[in-house]
Structure 1
Amino acid sequence: MNTTREREVIRAFVDLSHELTDDYDAVEMLTALTGHCADLLDVAAAGLLLADATGTLHLAAASSEGTGHLETFQLQRNQGPCLDCYRDNAAVTVPDLAAQTDRWPIFNRAALTAGFRSVHALPMRLGGRSIGTLGLFGASTGLLGPDDLELAQALAHVASVAILNARSAGDRAAVATQLQSALTSRIVLEQAKGVLAHTGDLEMGHSFEALRRYARDHGLKLSEVAEALVERRLPGELVLGHARTVGLLPHD
């Protein structure tokens, strides 16, 4: 690993450690984690799925809107490498999606159409139990190198520990509550992105960046800003105005 990449890896874990305060925001932390995966690993994008109390997977975070749509597509069609990874509690490596058309025909067509050529799914575990998956999507064919796989699994472990909170990891009820809280926050975030996209005539990705920037610049949790926007306690124009002020969006 070269010096530049070492610094980038250290910075990623430092950033994540800053997120993991006693009052951390799960949605913000998991979104940051998928972004770090896309930046640090030899992949184009990353997505993270978490299971609820019934064992049903839901989208928890993604490094891009397109990746989030593809992860959701897997769940809707009930097929794909990330689902197999969760069900088998084992990594799934697909260096060439075009060569696996019989295994997941519907998912493969969607992934190839979206520009992905390879995928690697890594399990998130708690005490040997599968709680979700980290999906890594490549724009070219090929295996991930051992260093990338090791780093990806380490990032998945960070997500597992963070979302479950190691102090209550032995309490299944507490684990279920924490997972559900993270998933509920994600739903509210999607609603807030929709509200802001409608208000400002924006793409969903731009809406997210505006929400995230407003939260960070005002020392608020992303989930708090999203909830306030959905409940109309925070005007969408205020968030949009801030985004324009800091240069995220053009002025009208």
Structure 2
Amino acid sequence: MTSREQAVAETFVELADTLVAEFDLVDFLHTLIERTVTLLDGDAGGIMLADQRGGLQAMAATSHEVRLVELFELQSDEGPCLEAFRTGQSVTKADLGEMRRDWPDFTARLEQAGFSSAQAVPMRLRDEVIGAVNVFRVATGALSEADMRLARALADVATVGLLQERTIRSRDLLAEQLQAALNSRVLIEQAKGVLAERTGIEVGEAFTVLRAHARRTGVPLHALAAQVVSGTLYL
């Protein structure tokens, strides 16, 4: 077994282990995007999930800058994640020229952030699409067919986990959990800002500090964020 094959196997085990008991959805999504970017030799990435109204929300990103790119993607209503979500198909473009033609505003913003290619896979189970996974690279060109299959497999595993019966028993409950995760995301963004202001660290580093403390103490991210925002916890 090659080192990459071993990393792939370990990633699937890690994602499955995350779902053994009650899990922190925001942390789970960050684990998914971090492993996906690493395995595909990407440079950054993010995940969007559908909310109760069927619109996409940026839920996880490998950096603060990437989160801003994903928010711009939503605002401009164009880009790989939206296309993958709407079509239920994987999306990767041959070159920057094709990207500029199909997503002019998004591609300009992507290049401004230092990336030259973007691809996405839907988070789909049969006909139900609940979100999409973005992978950005500094290098130009499309991902290989094998890499796109791997990205799709990782997204499929995550989707099955989110929809599994013991965690989510109905579509309404799924929407409720995703909405709760979105609310948690807002609180976490506030906590990042508070922590950055208090300590002088960068916003992206603030999330790393929050996440590490949550894992070390076993306190859910949303609960920890609430403590930071309310001033009952200082890190």
TM over 0.5: yes
CA offset at residue 199 of structure 1? 0.8
Q: Distance in 2 between matches of 1:190 and 1:127?
A: 33
**Correspondence for 1:115:** 114
Q: Answer whether contact 2:93 2:142 (CA < 8 A) is retained.
A: yes
- What percentage of residue pairs aligned between the two structures are identical? 41
User: What is the one-letter code of the residue matched to 1:133?
Assistant: A
Matches of 1:129 and 1:17, distance apart in 2: 21
The 1-side partners of 2:183 and 2:83 are apart by 24
SS of corresponding position for 1:50: strand
Letter in 2 for 1:124: M
Q: Distance in 2 between matches of 1:182 and 1:91?
A: 25
Check the 8 A contact 1:118/1:137 in 2, yes or no. yes
1:144 alignment partner in structure 2: 143
Give 1:83 shift: 1.1
- How many angstroms does 1:126 deviate by? 3.5
Quote the offset at 1:130 in angstroms. 1.5
One-letter code aligned to 1:59? A
Partners of 2:176 and 2:28 in 1: CA distance: 17
Could you say which residue in structure 1 is the equivalent of 2:195? 196
SS of equivalent to 1:122: strand
Aligned 8 A contact 1:37 1:45 in 2: no
Indicate the residue corresponding to 1:223 in structure 2.
222
Displacement of 1:172: 1.8
The aligned runs of 1:64-83 (5 Å cut-off) are 64-83=63-82
Q: What's 1:29 paired with?
A: 28
Which letter maps to 2:49? Answer: L
Please show how residues 126-205 of structure 1 align to structure 2 within 5 Å.
Answer: 126-167=125-166, 171-205=170-204
Structure 2: unaligned runs, 5 residues or longer:
none
In structure 2, do the counterparts of structure 1 residues 127 and 168 end up closer, same or farther at CA, with 3 Å as the change threshold?
farther
What amino acid maps onto 2:178 in structure 1?
A: L
Aligned counterparts, 1:29-48, within 5 A: 29-48=28-47
Aligned to 2:8: 9
Q: Are the counterparts in 1 of residues 121 and 155 from structure 2 also a CA contact under 8 Å?
A: yes
3-state DSSP class of the match of 2:102? coil
CA distance in 1, matches of 2:165, 2:119: 26
Structure 1: gaps (5+ residues): 240-252
Equivalent-residue separation in structure 2 for 1:155 and 1:218 (angstroms)? 28
Check 1:142–1:164 CA distance in 2 against 1; reply closer, same or farther (3 A cut): same
Q: d(CA) in 2 for partners of 1:166 and 1:118?
A: 37
The count of corresponding residues between Structure 1 and Structure 2 is 235
CA distance in 2, matches of 1:146, 1:30: 24
Deviations 1:190-233 (A, max 9, x none): 11111101111111111011111111121222222112212333
Whole-angstrom CA distance in 2 between matches of 1:46 and 1:6: 21
Contact preservation (8 Å) 1:164, 1:178: no
Amino acid at match of 1:57: L
Q: Which moved more, 1:14-23 or 1:83-92?
A: 14-23
1:38 partner amino acid: V
- Aligned twin of 1:106: 105
Counterpart contact for 1:98–1:112, Cα < 8 Å: no
The answer (yes or no) to whether the contact 1:98–1:108 under 8 Å persists in 2 is: no
1:135 is paired with a residue whose SS is: strand
How far residue 113 of structure 1 moved from its aligned partner, in angstroms, is 1.6
Which residue identity does 2:62 align to in structure 1?
Answer: S
Shift of 1:40: 0.9
Alpha-carbon distance, 1:28 to partner: 0.5
